[in-house]
């Protein structure tokens, strides 16, 4: 897909995840909206995947360390055909496999995640295994910025640099909000890019809600031989829905009927404009 087509796809995924959260009456809305562009770039353009063969040995691996923002991921996996799109209607319902965090009983999910601070360590192990097995696949790990307060993240960061894992790509969804407020008020992180660089990582700051910028960073990896890459994706929490953007309350707010209607109208207007540009 070209950039314009990917922008259209991202708008469609945002609409799908809002409908899904509204129907389930639960979900993490703000973070899923902020990470949609990142996941769209990865799944529709950057990563080597085969929905018909989700266990393909040479596939790229993706770990959603910020597993609570799974809604965008469920919608993308369904859209790609890893499981029937109709299953999205079962999200967070009794007996479903589509729970509120990644569940490896679902095709396309490598590892159950959600306890923050664990995903990067798992990704280090996968990337090291690829190196030792002589495999060319890459491992992508999406983290939240609030998650950066976890000590296990930095242990994994040290290990990734020590083992020279240039097949490992960490991505921070840097939307600067977490469940209890601003990251800089809860546990100050800045200068976060300098901290990652000091741990031996190649740090690439990008606009995490701009598909073209994301592709420029993600398609270039490994851009420095012998170093893991950290993509600092500066995003807007609630991106795409004007009245949800940068509003902490939308971390896990479920849109009302009226809010859903307004959000879909707004996204549809943007979608029509983008589709016109694609044509």
Number of domains comprising the chain:
1
Q: Concatenate the DSSP letters of all residues of 69-123 into one string.
A: --HHHHHHHHHHTSS-GGGGGGTTSTT-S--SS--TTSTT--S---STT-HHHHH
Residue-wise pLDDT tens digits, 29-79:
999 999 999 999 999 999 999 999 999 999 999 999 999 999 999 999 999
Instruction: Return the pLDDT at 279.
Output: 47
Range of the domain at 173: 3-278
Residue-wise pLDDT tens digits, 186-239:
999 999 999 999 999 999 999 999 999 999 999 999 889 999 999 999 999 999
Question: What proportion of the chain, given as a percentage, has pLDDT over 90?
Answer: 93
Residue 207 three-state SS:
strand
CATH code of the domain covering residue 225: 3.40.50.970
Instruction: Return the pLDDT at 277.
Output: 63
Token pair 């949609």 in the structure block, residue:
36
pTM of the model as a whole: 0.96
Round to whole Å and give the CA distance between 3 and 250.
Answer: 28
Looking from the CA of 183 toward its CB, the CA atoms found within 13 Å total 21
Does position 276 have pLDDT exceeding 70, yes or no?
no
- Each as own residue / partner, the long-range contacts of residues 85-88 (CB below 8 Å, 24 or more positions apart, any chain) are 88/16, 88/20
> In the predicted model, what is the mean pLDDT of residues 137-152?
97
Segments of the chain assigned E as strands = 61-64, 139-144, 168-174, 177-178, 181-182, 202-207, 229-234
> Kindly report the CA angle at 38 between 42 and 169, in degrees rounded to 5?
65
Secondary structure element (H or E) that encloses residue 15, with its range: helix 3-24
> In the predicted model, what is the mean pLDDT of residues 73-94?
98
Q: Using CB atoms within 10 A of its CB, is residue 77 exposed (0-12), middle (13-18) or buried (19+)?
A: buried
Instruction: Return the pLDDT at 222.
Output: 86
Round to whole Å and give the CA distance between 16 and 40.
Answer: 13
Strand order in the sheet with 168-174: 61-64, 139-144, 168-174, 229-234, 202-207
Residue-wise pLDDT tens digits, 157-177:
999 999 999 999 999 999 999
Does position 149 have pLDDT exceeding 50, yes or no?
yes
Averaged pLDDT score across all residues of the chain: 96
> Is the separation of the CB atoms in 233 and 34 below 8 Å?
no
Does position 3 have pLDDT exceeding 60, yes or no?
yes
């Amino acid at each position: 897909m070209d950039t314009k087509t990917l922008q259209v796809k991202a708008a469609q995924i945002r609409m799908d995840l809002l409908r899904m959260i509204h129907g389930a009456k639960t979900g993490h809305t703000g973070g899923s909206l902020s990470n949609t562009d990142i996941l769209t770039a990865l799944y529709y353009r950057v990563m080597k995947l085969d929905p018909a063969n989700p266990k393909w040995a040479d596939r790229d691996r993706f770990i959603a360390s910020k597993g609570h923002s799974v809604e965008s991921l469920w919608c993308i996996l369904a859209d790609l055909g890893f499981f029937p799109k109709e299953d999205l209607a079962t999200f967070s319902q009794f007996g479903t496999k589509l729970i509120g965090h990644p569940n490896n009983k679902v095709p396309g999910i490598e590892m159950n995640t959600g306890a923050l601070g664990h995903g990067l360590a798992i990704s280090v192990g996968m990337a090291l295994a690829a190196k030792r097995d002589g495999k060319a696949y890459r491992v992508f790990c999406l983290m939240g910025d609030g998650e950066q307060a976890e000590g296990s993240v930095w242990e994994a960061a040290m290990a990734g640099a020590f083992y020279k894992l240039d097949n490992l790509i960490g991505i921070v969804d840097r939307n600067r909000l977490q469940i209890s407020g601003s990251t800089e008020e809860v546990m100050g992180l800045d200068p976060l890019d300098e901290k990652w660089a000091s741990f031996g990582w190649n740090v690439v700051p990008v606009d995490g809600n701009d598909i073209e910028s994301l592709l420029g960073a993600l398609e270039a990896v490994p851009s420095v031989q012998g170093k893991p890459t950290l993509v600092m994706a500066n995003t807007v929490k609630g991106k795409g829905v004007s009245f949800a953007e940068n509003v902490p309350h939308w971390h896990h707010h479920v849109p009302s009927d009226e809010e859903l209607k307004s959000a879909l109208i707004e996204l549809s207007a943007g979608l029509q404009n983008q589709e016109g540009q694609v044509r």
